[in-house]
Structures are given as C-alpha cells and as structure tokens.
Amino acid sequence: MSSRAVEHARTDTGRSARKRQAIMEAATALFLRDGYRDTSMDQVAADAAVSKQTVYKQFADKEQLFRAIVLGVTGNSEAIITDMTAVLRSTEVASHEELRSILTDLARRYIDGVLQPHVLALRRLVIAEAERFPDLARTYFEQAPARAIEVVANVLRTYIERGLLAADDPRLAAAHFAYLVLAIPQDRAQFYPGERPSAAERDRLAGEAVRIFLAAYAAPGGGAR
Amino acid sequence: MSSRAVEHARTDTGRSARKRQAIMEAATALFLRDGYRDTSMDQVAADAAVSKQTVYKQFADKEQLFRAIVLGVTGNSEAIITDMTAVLRSTEVASHEELRSILTDLARRYIDGVLQPHVLALRRLVIAEAERFPDLARTYFEQAPARAIEVVANVLRTYIERGLLAADDPRLAAAHFAYLVLAIPQDRAQFYPGERPSAAERDRLAGEAVRIFLAAYAAPGGGAR
C-alpha cells in the first residue's frame, strides 16, 4: 500500500473503533434504562448517531451487542487492577506502618475504580439480566470481582512471605479486604445510582477498613496494632 | 352480623389475601424475568391464576403493583431482624467467649435471612429498576440493609456499654460487621441466582467474619483475642 493508502486505512480503523465505542455506550445506557428486551437496534443506532447498517456491520444482533458490552468488563478490570497495583511496585515494604500506608492507598484506588459510573452501570446491568444470561453473569463475576480479589490475594501472599501478615487462607483474607473496603460504598451505589462518597468519606472508609483488616491479619510483633 | 356472616367475611378476607399474595409472587417472577416494562397485567393474572379483574381490584395499575411488591420489603426485613435478634434476648453475655458465640449465631442467622430466594429476588429487582424508581430504591435501601445495620448497631451499643466492645462509631462498626458477614455470599448470589453456600461454608464465613470483627472491635482485656 502507498503511504496515503495506509493512512487512509488507519483513519478508517480509527473511525470504525470510535463508532463501535459509541454504539456500545448508547446500548449500555438503553439496556439499563429500558431493560434488555425493550431495547431495539433502531434506537441504539439513533442514540449512537450512526446508521442501522453500521450497527449490524459491527454486531450481528442484539444479543451479540449485549455480549460484547459485558465482555468489555475485562478491559475495565485490567484498568482498575493496573491502577491499584501501580502503587505496589515502586515501594519496598519493611514495616507494619509502611504496610498500613500501602494498603490504604490500595484501598482508596480500589474504591475509586469500582465506583466509576461506567463500572457501576455495567455491574447493575449484569445483575439485572443474570437470569437471562447466566453465562455472562458468571463471566462478569470471574473477570471483575473475583479477578480483582485474586490479584489482592497475590499481593497479600508477598506480605505473608515477608512475615508482615498472617493468614492461612490468603484468598479469603483478600475477599475480606475487598469487601471491608468496597461493600459499604458499592452496596449504597447500587441503590442510589449517581451518588458517590466525597473524597473525605472515601478516605475514612479506606482507613477504617485497613485498620480492621490489620487488626485481624497483621502478623504479631510488627507493631501494626 | 350473625356468626355465619362473620365466618363468611373472614373466609372472604383470607381468600382475598391469598389472591393478593399470589399476584405479587407471580408479578415478582415476571418483573425479574422480563423487566418492568415488558411485564403485562394480563400475564400477571394468567401466572397468578386469577382474573384480570381481580388483579385490578387489588392494584390500580402496574406501577402500584410494583410499588406494593417493593414496599413488601418491610415485612421481609422485620422477619429477618426478628429471627436474628431472637438469640440475643435469651442470653446474658458476660465474657468475650460468650460474645463470640452470640455474634457467630447472629451472623449465621443474618446470612440465612438475606440469602432467602425471595429476599435475593426482590433485591435484584430493585437494583435493576433503580433508575426508573429512585424513590423505591431509596425506600428499599432504608428498610432493608440500612435498617438491619441500625438494629445491629443497637446490639453493639449494649456490648460497648458493658465494656466488651470498643467502637467510637457503633453504626460504622455495625456496617463492618454486616458486610464482613454478608458481602461474600451476597455478592456472589447476585451473579449466580439460585446458588447458595452449603451450611458448612456458611458457618465458616460467619466464624471468620466474627473473628475479624472481634480482632478489631473487642475491648482490650476481655480475652476475646
């Protein structure tokens, strides 16, 4: 291909990707507002400001569109996990005080990630349609909450190895960490769409969750209590 | 009224209440399966095995029927709370070991109450329709999770007064207790409708949640750690 043809193909790919993104965002909003059954591909096309033909070029039918949206959770999860764990790599943790500080930072990032409007919206959508699409609900659960907890478990294992934490079952400890941190604001957000805690409230929730976690899981003798 | 007329009226009331219950159960299942918008009063009548006239005698329209179902959460909550707190009244708690045993029993009852299929179904229905009916979502949240946490907070206050627990903010301590106990099985149940933990798994979750809670909130010197 000539350089102009390459440039043209690139622009086409970019435009196509943008349209795909617009279709998925419009469809997510419609699925949430009207439910799966009442959302039509016509309406998706109109809300995304693309032709119906374009919608069908990207997605064979409504079910494929719904599946693509839910499977997009993998991207959300990776972004949240990358942000959460960014704080870990740069820091050596030698004392319980340093551990407390790292875990509090991790907790704050966890809350921020999970309370993003598009993350909450997808979660509510999957819960609403869990009986219609049990395989997608399972995939969502494995790729989102369970995947994040597995990453936290791996983080905790490194602190257990260094003698800073004590836990027979690191996966259960990670689930306790995750839900101590997240459950209060996340459960509330499920019933009050659009409401979010202030930064101060988020910091308080993160700090108290870490205090409780360390009271239960800090290895004796490191001074974290 | 003659005694026969009284008996007749009573039977009528009982029949009417049973029909109302059948309509609400059929409608809950339909709302969950098809969403609010796609559920028709005709279908509700058919599934409840009553006439359409009977449905409209009980509920003016679909929205009133939906509201009645969600507001029925108050009855669910009271039943769960009564069962949870039944264990408290009969027992004097003087030591940390007794406290651990009571809280573990409370935790088990909490999990059993919240994981009942009709309780989970209503919860999923309200989350699914939270944008359409924000006032009902708020009412549900206040009457169900927040109300149960308030009851737990009152329980914890009595143990704080007796010097067995230490917490500056009993409501936050109660929320930590509630979500330590519930969040793992409840979050999973939202994505795997119909799946429930075994009794052994439930007991393990309850025991571990109480262990963590007491590690953080037991007053020093009572021997609970």
Q: Which residue has the tokens 């917490």?
A: B167
Asked if residue B88 has pLDDT above 90, the reply is no
Neighboring chain A residues of B192 at a CB cutoff of 8 Å: 130, 134, 137-138, 141
Establish whether this prediction's ipTM goes over 0.90.
no
Q: What is the pLDDT of residues A55-105, one digit of tens each?
A: 999 999 999 999 999 888 888 888 899 888 887 766 677 788 999 999 999
Q: Would you call B180 an interface residue with chain A, using a CB distance cutoff of 8 Å?
A: yes
d(CA B206, CA B197): 12
d(CA A64, CA B43): 28
DSSP reduced 3-state for A57:
helix
Neighboring chain A residues of B168 at a CB cutoff of 8 Å: none
Q: Would you call A22 an interface residue with chain B, using a CB distance cutoff of 8 Å?
A: no
Calculate mean pLDDT across residues B38-42: 92
Provide the β-strand partners of residue B218.
B165
| Weakest-pLDDT range from B3-17, B35-49, B144-158 | B3-17
Q: Give the gap in angstroms from C-alpha A170 to the nearest C-alpha of chain B.
A: 13
Asked if residue B6 has pLDDT above 80, the reply is no
d(CA A116, CA A80): 10
A141/B36 CB distance under 8 A: no
Calculate mean pLDDT across residues B101-127: 92
Which backbone phi and psi does B110 adopt, to 5 degrees?
Answer: -60, -50
Neighboring chain A residues of B220 at a CB cutoff of 8 Å: none
d(CA A72, CA A63): 14
Sorting pLDDT into bands at 50, 70 and 90, what band is B99?
very high
pLDDT for position A95: 86
Q: What is the pLDDT of residues B117-161, one digit of tens each?
A: 888 988 988 998 888 899 999 999 999 999 999 999 999 999 999
pLDDT for position B183: 96
Q: Which residue has the tokens 């259960």?
A: A172
Q: Would you call B34 an interface residue with chain A, using a CB distance cutoff of 8 Å?
A: yes
A130/B213 CB distance under 8 A: no
Residue A201 tokens, joined: 């409230």
B23 CB contacts (<8 Å, ≥6 apart)?
Answer: B44, B45, B48, B50, B54, B55, B58, B59, B65
Nearest to B42 by CA among B32, B33, B30: B30
Averages of pLDDT over runs of 10 residues in chain A (225 residues) are 64 83 91 82 96 95 93 85 81 84 95 92 88 92 94 94 94 97 95 92 97 95 50
B10 CB contacts (<8 Å, ≥6 apart)?
Answer: none
If one compares B67 and B132, the residue with the highest pLDDT of the two is B67
